């Protein structure tokens, strides 16, 4: 009898602490995509959006990361929300956007030092060692009384009394996130003198670094889910059921000029008719759910496997999961509790 109990216990003990479910979901378009640019007169309805920096020779005007793209995916359509951020382990995540202009910017899949984006008169300025500037994916931070639950596609760029043309006023901004979950606005990282840490840098499969990017190329961001800040941010978004992300770049431009990346939005007519691709998110995640006390193997049901685990621990057992009634001893009282929840 003891052998049979031990054998059953060995088969289920690996799942004793929690029940894990695995999800691999492709979100084929965002619920929200917004060109976050102070001159955008049609928020949430534009057919394309672009990313670029402001004129680095005029460092007091606009954000350094001037044209940003705001994306939000309602993840609870495919992944249960409300599990608590600690209940999600993201194993991989990818975001894709499709290029809407032809051969106007060069692919740069690596980070550039922040000193490349200083005014030419600044003694700290350095030359960009490779062609192009990276297109980067970040989380999103909020200010001005707005939050991930309240910000919509047509929410004001900046609150009343603030000039939308001033740096540091946009209500939703590209942000890096540290291991404690603190969001840091990266919209002006060259002026503030720090290297931004994106979740991912965009790349095009099969295209060489420095090459001009053709129309309809798919730019892929493979998120670094091993980074504690990225992992924590993604898990918090899944818990809330909506995940915000931001695409931005410091592409060098002149005032009212320059060549910079443009992408299809979900409102684009080509997207509507299936001829182009909107921004997409694919995410793979394990959800870990706590179990009721009598579900000792945490498989979602109370059955003979749980009784077997209790019998394996029979006798004095300090802080033992099988000690359901907390008496310090695993006995028939604990088995009785298991039988009450049987099923």
**Pair of tokens at residue 269:** 């007519």
Residue 315 CB-half CA count within 13 A: 2
Residue 310 has pLDDT above 50, yes or no: yes
Q: Domain boundary residue among 255, 273, 289?
A: 289
Q: Domain boundary residue among 289, 315, 331?
A: 289
Q: What's the pLDDT at 257?
A: 58
Digit-coded pLDDT (tens) for 278-295: 999 999 999 876 677 787
Q: What's the pLDDT at 233?
A: 98
Instruction: Return d(Cα 244, Cα 236) in angstroms, integer.
Output: 10
Q: What's the pLDDT at 296?
A: 72
Q: Domain check: are 159 and 193 in the same one?
A: yes
Q: Domain check: are 13 and 47 in the same one?
A: no
**E strands, the chain, where?**
19-27, 32-36, 48-50, 52-53, 65-73, 88-98, 135-142, 172-177, 183-185, 200-201, 218-222, 243-249, 262-264, 280-289, 315-316, 329-330
pTM of the model: 0.81
pLDDT grade for 17, boundaries at 50, 70 and 90: very low
Q: Domain boundary residue among 289, 310, 328?
A: 289
Residue 248's alpha-carbon distances to 5, 239, 332, 333, in angstroms, are 58, 25, 62, 61
More confident residue, 263 or 252: 263
Residue 1 has pLDDT above 90, yes or no: no
Q: Domain check: are 255 and 318 in the same one?
A: no
Average pLDDT of span 211-219: 98
In the block, tokens 């975001």 appear at 95
Q: What's the pLDDT at 4?
A: 44
In the block, tokens 């915000």 appear at 244
Digit-coded pLDDT (tens) for 57-90: 887 779 999 999 999 999 999 999 998 898 999 9
pLDDT grade for 118, boundaries at 50, 70 and 90: very high
Q: Domain check: are 47 and 165 in the same one?
A: yes
Q: What's the pLDDT at 255?
A: 55
Q: Domain check: are 156 and 301 in the same one?
A: no
Q: Are strands 172-177 and 48-50 parallel, antiparallel or unpaired?
A: unpaired
Domains identified in the chain, total number: 2
CATH number for 334: 1.10.1330
Q: What's the pLDDT at 14?
A: 38
Q: Domain check: are 244 and 336 in the same one?
A: no
Taking alpha carbons only, the member of 206, 282, 323, 291 closest to residue 15 is 291
Residue 8 has pLDDT above 80, yes or no: no
Looking at every residue in the chain, the average pLDDT score rounds to 89
pLDDT grade for 302, boundaries at 50, 70 and 90: confident
Q: Domain check: are 181 and 217 in the same one?
A: yes
Q: Domain check: are 125 and 148 in the same one?
A: yes
Instruction: Return d(Cα 90, Cα 109) in angstroms, integer.
Output: 23
**Pair of tokens at residue 335:** 């088995």
- Helical spans, DSSP H, in the chain: 2-12, 189-192, 228-240, 269-272, 304-312, 332-340
Residue pair 13/321 in contact (Cβ under 8 Å)? The answer is no
Residue 14 CB partners (closer than 8 Å, separation 6+): none
pLDDT grade for 258, boundaries at 50, 70 and 90: low
Q: What's the pLDDT at 5?
A: 40
Q: Domain check: are 181 and 229 in the same one?
A: yes
Q: Domain check: are 226 and 315 in the same one?
A: no
Digit-coded pLDDT (tens) for 138-195: 999 999 999 999 999 999 999 999 888 899 999 999 999 998 899 999 999 999 999 9
Domain range for residue 13? 2-18+292-340
Instruction: Return d(Cα 168, Cα 147) in angstroms, integer.
Output: 16
């Amino acid at each position: 009898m003891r052998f049979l109990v031990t054998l059953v216990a060995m088969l289920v003990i690996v799942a004793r602490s929690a029940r894990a479910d695995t999800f691999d979901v492709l979100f084929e378009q965002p619920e929200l995509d917004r060109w976050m640019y102070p001159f955008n007169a049609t928020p949430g309805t534009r057919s394309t959006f672009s990313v670029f920096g402001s004129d680095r020779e005029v460092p007091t005007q606009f954000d350094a990361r001037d044209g940003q793209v705001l994306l939000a995916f309602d993840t609870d359509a495919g992944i249960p929300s409300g599990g608590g951020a600690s209940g999600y382990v993201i194993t991989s995540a990818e975001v894709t956007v499709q290029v809407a202009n032809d051969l106007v910017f060069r692919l740069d899949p690596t980070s550039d030092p922040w000193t490349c984006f200083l005014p030419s008169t600044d003694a700290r300025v350095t030359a960009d060692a490779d062609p192009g500037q990276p297109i980067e994916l970040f989380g999103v931070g909020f200010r001005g009384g707005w939050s991930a639950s309240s910000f919509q596609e047509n929410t004001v760029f900046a609150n009343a009394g603030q000039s939308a043309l001033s740096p540091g006023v946009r209500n939703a901004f590209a942000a890096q996130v540290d291991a404690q979950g603190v969001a840091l606005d990266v919209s002006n990282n060259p002026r503030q003198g720090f290297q931004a840490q994106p979740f991912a840098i965009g790349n095009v499969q099969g295209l060489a670094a420095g090459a001009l990017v053709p129309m309809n190329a798919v730019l892929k961001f493979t998120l670094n889910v091993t980074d504690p800040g990225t992992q924590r941010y993604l898990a918090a978004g899944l818990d809330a059921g909506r995940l915000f992300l931001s695409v931005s770049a410091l592409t060098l431009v002149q005032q009212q000029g320059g060549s910079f990346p443009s992408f299809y939005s979900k409102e684009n007519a080509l997207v509507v008719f299936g001829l182009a691709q909107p921004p997409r998110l694919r995410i793979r995640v394990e959800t870990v759910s706590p179990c009721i006390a009598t579900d000792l193997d945490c498989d979602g049901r109370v059955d003979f496997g749980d009784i077997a685990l209790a019998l394996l621990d029979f006798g004095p057992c300090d802080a033992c999961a099988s000690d359901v009634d907390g008496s310090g001893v695993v006995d028939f009282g604990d088995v009785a509790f298991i039988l009450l929840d049987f099923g």
